Structure 1
Amino acid sequence: MSVTRQLFGTYKAAPVYRYIIENRRHSKLCVLSYGATWQDFQVQVKGTTQSLIEHFDSFSEYLQNPYQNGKTVGPVAGRIGGAQFNLGAQTFKLPANDQGNLIHSGDHGLQTQNFTGTFEATSNKVTFVQKMTPEIDNFPSNLEVTVTYQLSDNDEIIVTYTGCSDAETLFNPTSHVYFKLTDDFGAQQLQINSDQVVAVDHQKVPTGEFLPVNAGYDFRQPKTLAQGLADLQAATGHLEFDDTYLLQPGVKAATLCTDQHGVDLYSDRNGLVIFTANTKNVAQADQHQYSALAMELQTLPDAINHGGFGEIRLSKAKPVTYTNRYVYWQR
């Protein structure tokens, strides 16, 4: 095992570093201090190096691209309806950035911060720390966030998120990673261990209800993304996924695979958002020509405004840690 560090760019006169964790199989997990970003995951497939996630090779692209590729989004991932929530007897209204709602905590969330990174050269992990204040993100506390990336010799990636606050606030971050196991997007097979999806309104804000998966959303048995999109179009007329599945925490959440290899996803939280995208070619995305699938493990979006969606309140001086796991395998 080894960890190396290299300069990747400069942000607000401070260096942005790229950290590379390499295991005995010569797989490489690459992460950035900016946005505590999962920048790349490279594996050896029949003697050839292959990247498994859609990523950029220059820092400027991470600044300019709006798709949050691989970034840690938060403190609260997903949408908050009306950009407001209640904590105790107090109502907090945050600056909206999505049709009157809040998405991914606004325009100054974790994904826009340059974290402080630490590592040991002979270890298998990198730890990032960032302090958030109400002056930065408008959330009601001073919050310290720690994000740790680990890569095992068995090609398992473990990402942990720890929040510690000086006042009650919200905490529900995740990695906005886009998987791309092959250049043939539609040939990838997806299986999701879920019987229900979150019902949403026309702005994609949860209504507080759940719907049983139907032909358009049913991935309980593996099927290709091409077939999934065809089923969705037949059932709803839509040709893109931007939907949340209800999970059973601790149980395997999903598998994305090809005839060569795959990734199993696990979470200690109850939600998985899938999002079809082409983050490098907007025109192709508009034509439903997708290149990658975002798979975001988190507590269900807008949980603070809906009973039964999960607990995302973070109490004063009571740290909380969440864990996402990604297990890579080959056939």
Structure 2
Amino acid sequence: MVVVKTNFGETNGQEVSLYKITNKNQTSISVLSYAATWQNFEVVEDGVKRSLIERFDNLNDYIKTPYEVGKTIGRVAGRITKAHFSINDVGYQLQPNDGANIIHSGDYGLQSQNFDSIVDSDNSVLFTHTVNGEDGFPGVLKVKIRYTLNDDDEVAITYSARTNHDTLFNPSCHVYFNLGESNIRQQQLRINSKHFLDMNAEKLPTGKMLAVTNAYDFKNFKKIGQGLKQLKPLDKFEFDDAYVVRDKAATLKSDKRAIDFYTDRNGLVIFTANPIDQQKASTHDYSSIAMELMTLPDAINHADFGETILNAGQKVSYTNKFKYRKLD
């Protein structure tokens, strides 16, 4: 295993570092100190390099993209209704950035921060950052994010944190996958889930968990394009939905390769998008699918959605895993 560090640019007078971890199979991941971003996931098949995730080659594109490509989003991923929550009957009003609501913890979330970084071992990189009250969240929160690549072609992202004040913690990686030579619509998705969240017009959970049926049913492998086609009678043109999952959450595959998704939390948000070409995005010509492993969105406002409260003095750690497999 080898880790190589290079300069990827500069933001606000700070150097942004890129780290490339390569294993014995010549599989590699590249990660950035800016937003603790997953910048590339590259495999070698029959001597040919293939990138499996959406990416940019310059820092400015990462800074300006509204799609949060590959970034760590948090301290809480997803939306919080009315940008408001309570812990132990104490209410907290956050700064809205999505109408009256807040998404991905606001404009100063982890996705806009440049992390301190070190090579932690011969196959991992550790990013650290401290946030202190940004966007109205209570508490000084010390965050650690570790990316690891092993010789089994499995990527692990571990999120750890501790705080001096009761607060929230539910980060994720906003990584977009595209495994095939063909359009994302031809790739097949299986989600190990029987339920997904009912959403209102603001893409906020209503509190109901619905049985997966028709367009939303990915219990068996189904082409993403078929699911999108099934959405049309509902007057919907994209997936932006949260599934209730556990452990092995999902598998995405093309004809030649697959990625298995694992999590120790209970949620998977899928989002079909085209972060690279806005014109194609406007015609629903999607280039990739985001697979965000997390506790279910807006959990703080729904008692049965999972725990996202991090109490003062407590330490918590979550791990998401992404395993590449070449198909025969």
Shorter-chain TM-score: which interval? Answer: over 0.9
- 1:198-252, CA deviations, whole angstroms, 9 ceiling, x for partnerless residues? 0111100111111111101000010111111112224x1211000000112x2x1
Structure 2 counterpart of 1:312: 308
Indicate conservation of the 8 Å contact 1:246/1:270, yes or no.
yes
Structure 1 counterpart of 2:49: 49
> SS of the counterpart of 1:91?
strand
Displacement, 1:87? Answer: 1.1
Which piece of structure 1 moves more, 215-224 or 178-187? 178-187
2:291 equivalent to 1:299: no
Displacement, 1:59? Answer: 0.4
Displacement, 1:262? Answer: 0.6
TM-score (norm 1): 0.97
> SS of the counterpart of 2:214?
coil
Structure 2 counterpart of 1:141: 139
Structure 1 segment 108-119 matched on structure 2, within 5 A: 108-119=108-119
Indicate conservation of the 8 Å contact 2:117/2:128, yes or no.
yes
- 1:139-158, CA deviations, whole angstroms, 9 ceiling, x for partnerless residues? 10000000000000110000
Indicate conservation of the 8 Å contact 1:216/1:233, yes or no.
no
> SS of the counterpart of 2:216?
coil
Displacement, 1:185? Answer: 1.3
Q: How far apart are the structure 2 equivalents of 1:278 and 1:298? A: 22
> SS of the counterpart of 2:228?
helix
Structure 2 counterpart of 1:237: 235
Structure 1 counterpart of 2:38: 38
> SS of the counterpart of 2:40?
strand
Aligned letter for 2:258?
G
Of 310, 320, 324, the residue aligned with 1:324 is: 320
> SS of the counterpart of 1:216?
helix
Task: Report the count of equivalent residues.
Answer: 326
- 1:266-293, CA deviations, whole angstroms, 9 ceiling, x for partnerless residues? 0000000000000011121111100010
Structure 1 counterpart of 2:276: 280
Displacement, 1:138? Answer: 2.1
Displacement, 1:326? Answer: 0.4
Q: How far apart are the structure 2 equivalents of 1:40 and 1:225? A: 23
2:197 equivalent to 1:198: yes
Structure 2 counterpart of 1:15: 15
Flag structure 2 segments of 5+ consecutive residues without an equivalent: none
Indicate conservation of the 8 Å contact 1:18/1:32, yes or no.
yes
Structure 1 segment 261-272 matched on structure 2, within 5 A: 261-272=257-268
Identity of paired residues, percent? 45
Q: How far apart are the structure 1 equivalents of 2:231 and 2:214? A: 7
2:166 equivalent to 1:168: yes
Q: How far apart are the structure 1 equivalents of 2:39 and 2:66? A: 15
Q: How far apart are the structure 1 equivalents of 2:8 and 2:106? A: 25
Structure 1 counterpart of 2:215: 216
> SS of the counterpart of 1:253?
strand
- 1:55-74, CA deviations, whole angstroms, 9 ceiling, x for partnerless residues? 00000100111100000000
Q: How far apart are the structure 1 equivalents of 2:103 and 2:242? A: 14
Structure 1 counterpart of 2:89: 89
Displacement, 1:257? Answer: 0.4
TM-score (norm 2): 0.98
Q: How far apart are the structure 1 equivalents of 2:38 and 2:232? A: 32
Q: How far apart are the structure 1 equivalents of 2:315 and 2:36? A: 19
Q: How far apart are the structure 1 equivalents of 2:244 and 2:4? A: 38
Q: How far apart are the structure 2 equivalents of 1:200 and 1:227? A: 21
2:259 equivalent to 1:260: no
Q: How far apart are the structure 2 equivalents of 1:221 and 1:80? A: 31
Q: How far apart are the structure 2 equivalents of 1:13 and 1:180? A: 33
Q: How far apart are the structure 2 equivalents of 1:23 and 1:278? A: 30
Aligned letter for 2:90?
Q
Structure 2 counterpart of 1:180: 178
Q: How far apart are the structure 1 equivalents of 2:200 and 2:223? A: 27
Displacement, 1:88? Answer: 1.3
Aligned letter for 1:166?
N
Indicate conservation of the 8 Å contact 2:180/2:255, yes or no.
no
Aligned letter for 1:85?
F
